[in-house]
Amino acid sequence: MTEQCVILLGGLGTRLGALTKDTPKPLLKVGDVPFVEVLIAEARRRGFRKFLLLAGYRAEVVENYITGTDVPGRFDCTVDISLEETPLGTGGALVNALPLLDESFLLVNGDTWFDFNWLDLVATARQNGAAFGMGLRLVQSPDRYETIALDGTRVAGVRPRGAGLTEALINGGVYYVRRDVIEGLGIPSSLEGDLLPRLVAEGRVTGVAYDGFFIDIGIPETFTAAQTSVPARRRRPAVFLDRDGVLNVDTGYVHAAEDFTWIEGAREAIKLFNDLGYYVFLVTNQAGVARGYYEEEAIHVLHAFVQAELREIGAELDDWRYCPFHPEGTVERYRGSHAWRKPEPGMILDLMANWPVDTAHSFLIGDNPTDIAAAKAAGIAGHLFPGGDLLAFSRAILATSAAEPQS
């Protein structure tokens, strides 16, 4: 499983003038947070728990930011920093960091945000046995860029700039990389100039085209535009999913992996929402804890299993909430009513308070009237799943012009 995200921070940012005199470009604020924090948040919500920052220019500012704002604590992750004393190029920076690299990792540019399901790129590259995977963008009049030729999902060639094409795929700056391909690079070196041509010639590069939002903060015009476009893009609709009876067959108080059977189309439905840019949240009553059938820790263990199963196909639950309380519980500490227990809306409201959710376009899928009541109380649409294929049910919801609550 690929859990490491490596972020390139080494550029000088000279085109931004005085803005980058004392601050590395990726640490400039966009909206109210440093741009690199947008990237960390996007990677973290997709399950990447280990971060490696490749820092060069004003590396001490990067170190102060990580320790001074407690990034590991706020994002529940680990953060390592690899320092470049002199500019080493994109390839050389990775060679310099070899002892800190996992067997495979996600690599992103620190001054661009290409918003698509990064897990899909990882899963596709792994499924194809690729050593290197590229997230690609289709652009009009691409003469400013080198362009990519695909044969299926295999990158067949890299065309030079100025080829006179009306439209073509270009490198979007998000990569899946296997550590072993870095070991033969020199210092200094370039991924684009030194590594990529060799791997393409060997047929070892997968490319996947995505049409997500893209911004490069490297020039004054785009940096200014990012102050509004990036916060707006981070505000997304969300789908809230019940668990038992929606994601898995409800055989009664499911709490162990061996008893967990996916509903038909459930994993694929989650991936569909991931690919479309929705936040995907799990909200589940877990009265089995209050009734003494299992410990609270069992919920966390099962959740880790669910996430691992999802990541196999390039999917992920962004966050989750559960309520272990019940008014008739036999375990005293969990006995009683609680604002998080559906039909109360507490779990949904807490997620909304911690994530930039577009409430008007969000909805819940549940299999019980209490789920629908919780959605209504939270001010979002609720859809009652009758069983069957969750992917087909989800597509039917998305096909409607508006997701109205059910009564």
Catalytic amino acids?
Answer: 242, 244
* Six token digits for residue 407: 């009564």
Does residue 97 sit in helix, strand or coil? coil
DSSP one-letter code for 401: S
DSSP states along 327-365 = TT-SSGGGBS--TTSTTS-HHHHHHHHHS-B-GGG-EEE
Number of residues assigned to the chain: 407
Q: CA 252, 383, 267, 177: dihedral to nearest 10 degrees?
A: -130
Write the CA distances from 25 to 177, 223, 231, 255, 314, integer angstroms: 24, 10, 18, 46, 30
Collapsing DSSP to helix, strand or coil, 24 comes out as: coil
DSSP summary character for residue 200: H
The CA radius of gyration of the chain, in Å to the nearest whole number, is 23
Q: Element (H or E) spanning 90, and its range?
A: helix 89-96
Phi-psi region at 101: left, alpha or beta (left = phi > 0; alpha = psi -120 to 50): beta
- Are 372 and 406 within 8 A, CB to CB? yes
CA–CA gap between residue 332 and residue 187 (Å, rounded): 63
